[in-house]
Structure 1
Amino acid sequence: MNKKIALSALVLFVGLNSTFTYAAPQNLEKNIAQINSSIEKANYRGADEVVYKTLSEYKNNYEVQALACVSWALQSKLELAQDKIDRLKNIIPKNSDLHFAQGVVFYKRIASSNMEFRTKTESLEDIAIREFKYAIQLNPNNYKAYNALGVMDLRAGNLDNAKKNIEKALSIAPNYAVAIDNLGTVYLAKGNTSKAETYFKKAVSVNPNSSAAYYHLAQLEYTNGNYAKCLTYINKCLAWKGYSSYAYNLRGDAYKQQGNEAAAIASYKKAIEITPENLAPYANLASIYETRKDYELALDSYKTILSISPESEQTQLKIADIYLEMGKYNESVAYYEKVRENLKPEAMKGLASAYYALALNSASKSAFSSDKKLLEASEYLNKAIQENPNDLELYLAKAKLAALMNCPNDSCENLNNILNKPCKSIDDYLVKGDANIALANFKDGFNDYQMAISMTKTNDEKLYLGELFMFSKLYDEAEKVFNELLKTDPSNVVAKNNLSYIKISRANATQQAENANYFRKRNNTFFEREYLNKALKTSPYDLRSNILMGRLNQRQRRYSEAYVNYAIVVAKTNDAKTLAQYKKRLNKMKTKMDKKAAREKAKATKLQAKSLKAQQEAQEKNIVPVNNVKTEKVKNDNVKTVKPKPQKVDKPKKEKVSKDKNKNTVENKSELQNVGTQKKVKQKKIKKQKIKKNKNSTPAVDYSPKEM
């Protein structure tokens, strides 16, 4: 049999190349087996070495050249592989490995940076699948093609078909490490992590150089929170495949969780450098920049994502949120408007906050062309609340809009709706706490925050909650969360950095409060308030600062502001004496506020009554003269009256100034002024005479001459 094959090959090759030399087929078969074994273990460097060595002896062996195409295609040397395939496809059109290599090239073109290929994803997938099936048709034992079909099914989400094809590949080649790893990926996609881990470890035991298996083991360790072990596996992966964008991105994630932002940023940038179209590292970079409040850098990353994937609504929502944080409210509104149809709850929360901030920033509703925008936002929020009646953040957004539209009752109603809703998550308690703070129920608000803290279970949840408290300057709550986090993760850099920041902020607030106290003793209220404002801006719930500001507001009869300060003191203090003292002050401010409100209400009622009375009097005055005139006219209709001749009134003679300068001109300016003065005096006298005459005569009949 071997002789027949060799002789037929000899006849074929001699016609093509006169320099062909026949060699012992045993060495050729041994080399081909070694190439296949190296490819099976993903040792492509070893496969290439054997290919070059074999081709130096058997230059025109097309089977070896087809295997070279397979090795290059799997290494993503796509142009090199395609050139070789194009030269061979007319010579060996029915070579199974050649068609497998062609399918791999088409599949890998999908992830190419060349937009000509990226825009043809579906057609490239179809062609690749067709090539793999044809490879199996030509050689039913082509295990690589079965595995490739399984990968395509896995990509499409057909997990059962993927499992079937990969298991078929393993039935032919039980030690095919790539297929073993892919079978583990199928189980991971099905949620069976323990079985997935078993296959990943088996792939590594079969082939210690399996970069994909190391990557998937790193993924599992990352999910379990073992970031150091994750980095160990990912570094092994990169040792064998140093050009994996996904591996660098995962390494960045692990560094980020360890608090090493510098190393995380470097890894994300490396991932982007390898595959600029990989969206994950852009999003992760933006997340770091956003946390550090480097908003411009975060926007740059998010906008790059939009340039690659323009329809990404979540990215547009993120951009809107960042613009809101930056105080660029018009830009924020524009992005929220783009996504409010499909992401109603999230977009409407942000839109309400943006409108509210926009109005506060302009100190009035004049920030809007009309109330139409506010009414639209309110209508969308109502619909969103109907669809998500238990989303407390929607009620908080509605309360903001109600306050903006001068509907305090509606605002309070929405805040009270939040308080009456059951809390099921950490976010629910946070929103409920915010609602209580808005209603000046500080004690209840701080208790809600404590409930949110008690619900945290993982370190990630604690870190998330701590960051939220830091953003709202709730330093007591943030400090508690970070201290709890350090008990389970003593090396957490993020928690340590935030605790240091809290310490600095408190020290700054204390110093500003002492400066204010200095000016208080010298009766300089202007600088006292100035320094207290700085203290409260640094730490809004600082006990000492609120005590001093409350007293200042009380002295200046700003009772509602003093009430807020004292309410914070009562909610924050742990000292019984201070609590009793400021409860009295709080009640006193409440009494003062009630009295002031009663006075204002009485004043408003009085003004309203006075205004109503004035309107009535004005109406009566307008009606009486009209009736008198009518009655007089009726009486005088039957009386023949003789109209007296109108009295002639001497009018001042005017100096005529003709157009002709030689006739009737005023000789000088003084004469003209005298004439004008005499004219005014005579007119005043005539007016007085008319007024006296009108007083003595009846106003009903008008004797003045009329023109027809």
Structure 2
Amino acid sequence: MAAIKKAGSLNLFGLLAASGLVLFNPLNAQAQLPGITQPANTTTTPINQNQILTGKIKSDIIPAEQLMSQGRYAEAEEMFRELLVNNPADLAATVGLGTALAKQFKLDGADDMLDRVLKSDPNNALAFAGKANVILNRLQSSSGTIRDNRDSYLRQAEDYARRATALAPASGEAHFTLGQVYKEQGRTEDAAQELRTAVSLDPQHSQALSTLGTIKLDQGSLAEAAENFKRAINISSSNSTAHFGLGSVYLRQGQVDDAIKELNTSLYQFPNSWPVRMALGDAYAQQGNQVAAIKEYQLSILIKPENAQPYLKIADIRESRSDLELALADLRSGLSQIPYDIELRQRIAEICLKLEKADDAIKGFRTILQMSPNNPQAVKGLSQGLYIKAQKAAVGALLASNDYEAALKSLDEAIKLSPDDFELRLAQAKLMSLAGAKPDLSKMGDPQNNGEKLAYAEALMAQGEFQKATDMMKTVVASVNDPKQAFAVADVAMLNKDLDNAEAAYKKAITLSGAPERAQRGLDEVARLRKASKDDVIVADELFKKNQLDGAVDRYRHAVSTNPTLADARLGLAKSLEKMQKANSTMLMESAEQYHNYMALNPNQPIKEAEKMRQNIAKLRDKAAKLAEKESKNKRG
């Protein structure tokens, strides 16, 4: 999994570079927002075209300005305050203090200082740059109001930054601020140009270099990114963003130890950085230190609980240990913070499927479809949930439910939008098989990748083509070449209770140097399910002999849902349904289908027995059809 991962449109670096800091202080970020208006009395006077404004401050505070460009904001703040004690009317020191406060997320104090400057000097370029920085830093707040008005805030920030560059075209800080705004707006090329201009005007601007490095990192230009980060660190070793960026480069390059060193340096400088905690979690996960990884992800959550990624990554680790219930608990904790996050909801529903909590999974997928109509993954998941439910309950009850019709409708609509989605069409075929329809899968074309082959195998299994399904799964198992792929295939096989191929995939993972403990847990679960299904058949056989048919049907169904290829369970279920008193058309049709499945699983029957069973299947289907017609007439009255 990528070391730096996007959550929706949110980029980790985008949250950092906007301020030139890695620090995120939720207390400051939650400060009361000012209205998005211009400061009072800031009507800009015409600029003298013969005058070049640099934005540089007078010589007695040049040391403080240098501290600012190096990212040493707390030290700069202290120096500016000392200057203001000596001369409260010093506008240069006032704007410097306001900017230093803005960089440290002391946003209300920054606004007050910068508005004071603009009241006296409406053409102060650095004050406008500072105002833009205040807005950029407010955007890192967890406030829903701020997030909802993000575009408006960015437009105002751009207006302030443009004023700054117009008033002081030779100011590196002004161009740096405009570059930050462009980056937040997704205008990376414009941002990079402004940042390069900032560095050319002020070669000691460490933050401009580190922000330029984040852009190169996002673009995958690791060498250029590393060069910019190293230059930034050489200028200012306290530049936390640069250490974070360099650590992220090392992480992508597989230099995990070097990455952890840089990330820890960044964290030492700013302990409240949730993106650094996330990256450290990724680094420890790559090392196989899952305990340390979970700890870092949890610390990231404490700082920014509305970020979905740490919940998902903790769930990845829990799931790799087969701790599905714990994974589910962590994901639900995240959902309480971010109820509109579809990725969290999708993952929760998928884990419910693996836990065979079919009703919870169906509910989850339906909720996703309400939030995101025709979502292909949710449609596929819904069909899978219904199929699993059908294995454990009477198919007739499911077919009569609103869930079944709603799922078929959702599949139809999704296929219209994505007619080339092979897996959607296979999901439709699989669901239709529950009603006895068997679309010709061969007319859909051949699966082209492992994902399509897995879906194809599921559809074949649903149609009772057990040998073809097994053969398809075998080709997938044979093709995987790394442990992660092998475990993924094994998990899909386990979800479908294809125990033979699940066992083969777990063993393949071991040969590929996969986690032996996880593989052994999987193999143990395969063995447990095989034994449980056989035990169910033994109990069901006894109930059948005693003519306790309802109980027998329940136990045979459970055996089939646990191990669909157990022939004796199929045969027992067929006999029990056929023998039921007052059997309706659905029961008789299902009995015929189970006899058919038994024959598919037991192809070596004696010829006479096979022919006798085929005749019985034909009689059951004919009887079911006549009974269905009679039931329909009675229903119409």
Per the TM alignment, residue 88 of structure 1 is displaced from its structure 2 partner at its CA by: 3.8
| Counterpart for residue 456 of structure 2 | 432
- How many residue pairs get aligned? The number is 547
**CA, structure 1 residues 476+380, in 2 after alignment: closer, same or farther (shift >3 Å)?**
closer
| Distance change >3 Å, CA 440–CA 36, structure 1 → 2 | same
Q: Which residue of 2 aligns with 1:597?
A: 614
1:498 match: 518
Q: Pairwise mapping of residues 369-448 of structure 1 onto structure 2 (< 5 A)?
A: 374-375=404-405, 377-404=407-434, 406=435, 408=436, 410=437, 412-417=438-443, 421-448=445-472
Aligned to 1:586: 603
Q: Quick check: 2:217–2:249 contact (8 Å CA) kept in 1?
A: no
Distance in structure 2 (CA, Å) of the matches to 1:588 and 1:117: 71
Alpha-carbon displacement from aligned partner over 1:631-689 (angstroms, at most 9, x marks no partner): xxxxxxxxxxxxxxxxxxxxxxxxxxxxxxxxxxxxxxxxxxxxxxxxxxxxxxxxxxx
For residues 80 and 208 of structure 1, the distance between their equivalents in structure 2, rounded to whole angstroms, comes to 27
Give how far 1:111 is off.
1.7
Q: Report SS of the residue matched to 2:324.
A: coil
Q: Report the CA distance shift for 1:485/1:510 in structure 2 as closer, same or farther (over 3 A).
A: closer
Alignment partner of 1:237: what SS? helix
Separation in structure 1 between the aligned mates of residue 274 and residue 623 of structure 2, nearest angstrom: 76
Q: Letter of the 2:154 partner, please give it.
A: E
Counterpart in the other structure of 2:157: 128
Larger radius of gyration: 1
In structure 2, C-alpha distance between the alignment counterparts of 1:282 and 1:206, rounded to whole Å: 36
Within the alignment, does 1:298 sit opposite 2:327 as a pair? Answer: no
Contact preservation (8 Å) 2:570, 2:594: yes
Aligned equivalent of 1:331 = 363
Closer, same or farther: CA 444–356 of 1 in aligned 2, 3 Å = closer
Q: 1:142 to 1:602 in 2, by over 3 A?
A: closer
**Structure showing greater relative contact order (alpha-carbon pairs closer than 8 Å, 6 or more residues apart):** 2
Query: Hey, what's the Cα distance between the residues in 2 that align with 1:607 and 1:114?
Result: 61
* Structure 1 spans left out of the alignment, 5+ residues: 1-27, 569-584, 610-708
CA change 1:230–1:453 in 2 (3 A) is: farther
Answer with 30-39 or 511-520: which moved more: 511-520
Aligned pairs for 1:317-356 (under 5 A) are 317-318=346-347, 320-321=349-350, 325-328=356-359, 331-332=363-364, 334-339=366-371, 341-343=373-375, 345-356=376-387
> What amino acid is the match of 1:298?
L
Paired residue secondary structure (1:32): helix
Q: Structure 2: how far apart are the matches of 1:539 and 1:593?
A: 26
Closer/same/farther in 2, CA of residues 550 and 272 from structure 1, 3 Å limit? closer
Match of 1:9 in 2: none
Amino acid at match of 2:367: Y
Is the CA contact 2:300–2:310 (under 8 Å) kept in the aligned structure 1?
yes
Shift in Å, 1:249? 2.3
Deviations 1:325-382 (A, max 9, x none): 5232563464154146342x333323333444555555244457x5776455435434
Residue 464 (structure 1) aligned with residue 488 (structure 2): yes
Aligned match of 1:108:
137
Matched to 1:437, the amino acid is M
Distance in 2 separating the partners of 1:518 and 1:361: 18
2:629 maps to none
Residue 42 of structure 2 corresponds to which residue in structure 1? Answer: none
Shift of 1:129: 1.6
Confirm whether residue 199 of structure 1 aligns to residue 214 of structure 2. no
TM-score by length of 1: 0.64
> CA separation in 1, counterparts of 2:151 and 2:539?
74
Residue identity in the other structure for 1:452: V
How far off its partner does 1:240 sit?
2.0
Compared CA separation, residues 446 and 35, structure 1 to 2 (3 A) = farther
- Please say if residues 215 and 247 of structure 1, whose CA atoms lie closer than 8 Å, have aligned partners that are also in contact: yes
The structural deviation recorded for 1:33 is 2.3
Contact 1:332–1:354 (8 Å) recurs in 2: no
For 1:401 and 1:357, the matched residues in 2 are separated by: 10
**Separation in 2 of the partners of 1:598 and 1:277?**
62
CA contact under 8 A between 1:509 and 1:534: conserved in structure 2? no
Q: In the alignment, is the contact (CA less than 8 A) between 1:319 and 1:335 conserved in 2?
A: no
CA, structure 1 residues 449+231, in 2 after alignment: closer, same or farther (shift >3 Å)? farther
Partner amino acid for 1:597? R
Write the letter of the residue equivalent to 1:85. Answer: L
Unaligned runs of 5+ in 2: 1-56, 547-551, 579-590, 627-637
- Does the alignment pair 1:268 with 2:293? no
- Displacement of 1:143 in angstroms is 0.7
* CA-to-aligned-CA distance 1:63-110 (integer Å, 9 cap, x gap): 223212212211212123223334444344443322222211111112
Distance 1:252 1:565 in 2: 50
- Shift in alpha-carbon separation, 1:326–1:64, aligned structure 2, 3 A: same
| Distance change (3 Å), C-alpha of 1:371 and 1:64 | closer
Q: Secondary structure at the match of 2:612?
A: helix
1:573-626 Cα offsets, whole Å, 9 max, x none, are xxxxxxxxxxxx7321675243222245368879999xxxxxxxxxxxxxxxxx
Q: Can you list the C-alpha shifts for 1:211-251, whole angstroms capped at 9, x where unaligned?
A: 22232333334445555544333222212222222222233
Q: CA deviation at 1:429?
A: 1.6
- Could you tell me how far apart the structure 1 residues matched to 2:616 and 2:558 are? 34
Distance 1:554 1:468, change over 3 A: closer
**1:252 Cα offset (Å):** 2.8
Q: Is the 8 A contact 1:390 1:421 kept in 2?
A: no
Change (3 A) 1:428 1:247: same
Distance (whole Å) between structure 2 residues aligned to residue 379 and residue 554 of structure 1: 30
Distance 1:245 1:400, change over 3 A: same
Report if the CA contact (8 A) 1:398-1:414 is conserved.
no
d(CA) in 2 for partners of 1:425 and 1:111?
41
CA distance in 2, matches of 1:429, 1:506: 22
Taking the aligned partners of 2:207 and 2:234, their CA distance within structure 1 comes to 12
Q: 1:248 to 1:31 in 2, by over 3 A?
A: farther
Q: Paired residue for 1:571? A: none
Shift of the 590–403 alpha-carbon distance from structure 1 to 2, 3 Å rule, reads farther
Q: What do residues 167-205 of structure 1 show as CA deviations (whole Å, max 9, x unaligned)?
A: 111110123222122223333444434433332333334
1:38 aligns with 2:67: yes
Question: Are 2:186 and 1:144 aligned?
Answer: no
Distance 2:186 2:411 in 1: 36
CA distance in structure 2 between the partners assigned to 1:460 and 1:603 by the alignment: 46
Q: Distance in 2 between matches of 1:79 and 1:608?
A: 77
After TM superposition, list the pairs within 5 Å mapping 1:601-612 onto structure 2.
601=618
Q: Verify the 8 A CA contact 1:560 1:589 in the aligned structure 2.
A: no
Q: Return closer, same or farther for 1:34/1:473 CA change in 2, 3 Å cut-off.
A: farther
Aligned partners of 1:589, 1:216: CA distance in 2, in Å? 71
Give a deviation string over 1:370-425, Cα, whole Å, max 9, x none.
57764554354345445544534323322333233x3x2x3x325444xx622222
Cα pair 1:469 1:477 within 8 Å, conserved: yes
After superposition, what is the alpha-carbon deviation per residue over 1:111-137, rounded to whole angstroms, capped at 9, x for unaligned?
Answer: 223445444322221222222222223
Q: For the Cα contact (< 8 Å) 2:503–2:523, is it kept in 1?
A: no
The two structures, once aligned, show a CA RMSD in angstroms of 4.7
Distance in 1, Cα, partners of 2:372 & 2:163:
48
Aligned residue identity for 1:413? P
CA contact (8 A) 1:132 1:145 kept: yes
Give the conservation status (yes or no) of the 8 Å contact 1:559–1:593. Answer: no
